[in-house]
């Protein structure tokens, strides 16, 4: 097995449905341009309020990906 080197990026995903949806939206959008994603870490969870109700979930993630050899 070869040694690997990883890089981390930080992104924020949103969803009107759920925290999990915000995570999935962030990862699927990142996958369009980031290769070799291996793990994620939720660092912040927050939301937007409209008319005294939760209108949107916002989740900040750190995503780790392996650098190419």
Residue 13: burial class (beta carbons within 10 Å; 0-12, 13-18, 19+): buried
Contact 58, 50 (CB under 8 A): no
CATH H-level superfamily of 10-66: Flavin-binding protein dodecin (3.30.1660.10)
pTM summary value: 0.88
Delimit the domains of the chain by residue range. Answer: 10-66
**pLDDT above 80: residue 1:** no
| Pairwise CA distance, residues 19 & 30, whole Å | 17
Name which residue leads in pLDDT, 35 or 2: 35
pLDDT for 41 equals 98
pLDDT per residue over 10-55, tens digit each? 999 999 999 999 999 999 999 999 999 999 999 999 999 999 999 9
pLDDT-derived band at 2 (thresholds 50, 70, 90) equals confident
């Amino acid at each position: 097995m070869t040694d690997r080197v990883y890089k981390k990026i930080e992104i924020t995903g949103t969803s009107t449905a759920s925290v999990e949806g915000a995570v999935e939206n962030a990862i699927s959008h990142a996958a369009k341009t980031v290769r070799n994603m291996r793990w994620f870490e939720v660092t912040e969870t927050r939301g937007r309020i409209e008319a005294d109700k939760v209108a949107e979930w916002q989740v900040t993630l750190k995503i780790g990906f392996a650098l190419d050899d």
